[in-house]
Structures are given as C-alpha cells and as structure tokens.
Amino acid sequence: MLKEYESGQAPDGQPFRLVTLGNDQGFQVILMDWGATWLSCQVPLLAGGTREVLLGCPTPMDYLRQNAYLGATVGRYANRIRGATLSHDGKRFTLAANQGEHQLHGGPEGFHNRRWQQVEQDQTSVLYRLHSADGDQGYPGNLVADVRYTVTEDNALQIDYHATVDKPCPVNLTNHGYFHLDGANSDIRQQRLQIMANQYLPVDSEGIPCADPTDVDNTGMDFRQPKTIAADFLRDRDQQRMKGYDHGYLLYPGLSSAEEPAARLWSADGEVQMEVFTTAPALQLYTGNFLAGTPARQGGEYLNYSGVALESEFLPDSPHHPEWPQPACWLKPTEAYASQTRYRFLAL
C-alpha cells in the first residue's frame, strides 16, 4: 500500500490529497489530485488476495522525482508535437519544448505537473478539474479539463475526459499508467499482448512521425494475434530507433464505441488479463524503454522494460497531419472534447 508522505509538500505548498475507490469484489484503486494521477491498482485473484498491477512510487513525493509520467493525466496534448509549434488559421504558436526541440506530453509544466481540483467523490468515483490559462505552455485559449475516474462492478477503472476551450486548440488527454500484470519489479516482455490495429505510425529516433500510418503486415509491429512482447522485440528498424516499442497504433474504426476491446494483455503466469476499451482513435504502445532509475513502489528503482503503457489518444503530432484517417484533434469553442477509456481486469 502506498505510504503517506507526512513531512513533504507538493510544489504549491499544500499536502497531496489521496482518494481510494473500490467495489464489493475487492478491486481497489488509489488516486492523487497532483497530476490527477493513478497511483495503485489492486486486482483480486481467484486463489485469494490481491495483486498490484500498476507501477508506482513509494510515496507521493517520489512522483516529483521521476520523469516517466507514472499514472499521470497528461495534456493539453499527449505524446509529441514536432518542433513545439502549431499553426492554425494563419497564426503560429510556439509551445514550451521539453524533448529537445519538440514538445512531449504538454510541456515541462503540463497537466501531469499540476494540482487538479477535486470536485466530487464517492465510494466508486472521483472527479478532477483543471483550469489552463490562455498561453499555458504556449497553447492558445483558456481550457477547462475534467477527468472522472470510476470503479465499476466488473473490476474496471473507467476514465472519462472532458474539455472545453474558448479558442481553437488541439486537445489530447490520456492516462500514462504502466502495467505489470505479474505484479513484480521484473521484465514485462514475457507478457502476451494483442492490439486491434492494422496500422502503426513509423517514427524517427526522437519519436517524431517519419511516415504515414503503415500496415503491420509482415512486421514485428503486428499484434493482431496475441503474442509475447518479446516475440518480435527489436526486429524492426522502427523499434531499434526507440529501443523498443513506442509507437501509435491506429485502431480498427469500429472500436470507437468502446464496446469491444481495443487491446488485451495477459500476465506471464496466466492469472490476470487486462482489456482496454476506448473511444479514442489510437493507442500508444510503450514498453518502458527508458524507465531505468524511476523510484519503484517496492523500493529501489525500476529497470527498463519493467512496465507497459497502453495510452488512448490521437496519433502523435496529429496537429501537423490533418490528412490522417482519424477525427480532427483541434477543438473549437463551439465543441466539447470527450473521450472514454476503460481498463478491465479479469482473474483467470
């Protein structure tokens, strides 16, 4: 269980505020208002007891000492924006760069690094809200974002995102949880994965798209049938550039209703399965290629490949690619951004 950090404070001088949600089956999650962060996920097992399946730090304060975005809500725009620039209606916007010349996950002071207001809470749900001012990290317009976490009776954590703006702005919110379904601080590449996608997005060594969405046929990027993450690891030039998987997958179009799983993950010991349902057009698969040095829940530090992230979102750098076959990522003042993702856990 996560330890309270009694002597430390968040950067705003106030204590961290933690919330525990659960159901009658023993499924339980812990969340934090700093970064609207998912801290813990306890899954009940058939043999009895529970298993922690989410990577996390020993204390809330340790989340300030890591740059892996563990469990955080990221925005305004999750993933990368090339050159940290935007252009729209003849206007050019310079964003705050935090990965070389590019912007990653909303910038150095993105939504992961903010105090979210806890608006509502009961035994199974909590609602967080954030106000982002015009010019924040270089983005145009005032934005109000809501993230609601809900524990369901079928052992899922449902995440509902909502946002409004008063000027056109790209919006792409996601959760950056890392999963290890075997519950150990060890390599995740023996876990099996399935992603319902015919196409992935090639990227260069900085994670910036270098081609249009490409068929997974006859490549190591193909997860349409379940296989271990290790099976084709580093087989492709695309993977070699990123030291593993860190790629967007364009999901089958019919999955946007979130009624059928977009991805499945199985523990290596065969005792836990996770299903991912989402209304987002894409999933980013990241195999923790640069996790080394991150404070680990059990003590010590995580190693590379200690967790796998499946982030629901638009494809990276979508503001520069309106031609890609997905909905527009630019939100207008007359619209509302809405996205839902569910992570459901089954004991086998």
- Catalytic residue, from 52, 271, 311, 313: name it: 311
The reply to whether 203 falls in a domain is yes
Does 79 belong to an annotated binding site? yes
Identified catalytic residue from 176, 180, 247, 313 = 176
Round to whole Å and give the CA distance between 109 and 258: 31
> Domain for residue 8, yes or no?
no
pLDDT at 108 over 80: yes
Q: How far apart are CA 332 and CA 169, in angstroms?
A: 7
Q: Is residue 207 part of an annotated ligand binding site?
A: no
> Within a domain: residue 46?
yes
**Contact predicate 281/256, CB 8 Å:** yes
Number of domains the chain contains: 1
- The CA distance from 301 to 152, in Å, is 32
**Full-model pTM:** 0.96
On whether residue 209 sits in a domain, the answer given is yes
Q: What is the DSSP string of 167-185?
A: S-EE-B-EE---B-TT-SS
Q: How far apart are CA 161 and CA 6, in angstroms?
A: 31
Dihedral angle over CA of 317, 321, 323, 328, nearest 10: 60
Does the annotation count 131 as an active-site position?
Answer: no
Query: Parallel, antiparallel, or unpaired: how do β-strands 85-88 and 91-94 relate?
Result: antiparallel
**Does residue 176 have a known ligand-binding role?**
yes
- The 10s digit of each residue's pLDDT in 67-78 is 999 999 999 999
- Domain for residue 11, yes or no? no
Mean pLDDT score, 25-37? 97
Q: Is the pLDDT of residue 7 over 80?
A: no
Residue 4 lies in a domain: no
SS3 label, residue 252: coil
Q: Is residue 10 in some structural domain?
A: no
Domain that holds residue 66: 18-347
Q: Which residues are paired to 273 by β-bridges?
A: 266, 346
Q: In percent, how much of the chain has pLDDT > 70?
A: 98
pLDDT at residue 256 in the model? 78
Residue 257 banded pLDDT, cuts 50, 70, 90: confident
Looking at every residue in the chain, the average pLDDT score rounds to 96
40: domain CATH number is 2.70.98.10
Please name the residues in contact with 131: beta carbons below 8 A apart, sequence gap of 6 or more: 142, 143, 144
HSE toward the beta carbon, residue 35, CA cutoff 13 A? 31
3-class DSSP state for residue 253? helix
- How far is residue 162's CA from residue 169's CA, in Å, rounded to a whole number? 14
> Is residue 54 domain-resident?
yes
The answer to whether 63 is a known ligand-binding residue is: no
Measured distance CA(26)–CA(310) in Å, rounded? 24
176 is catalytic: yes
What pLDDT is recorded for position 4?
Answer: 45
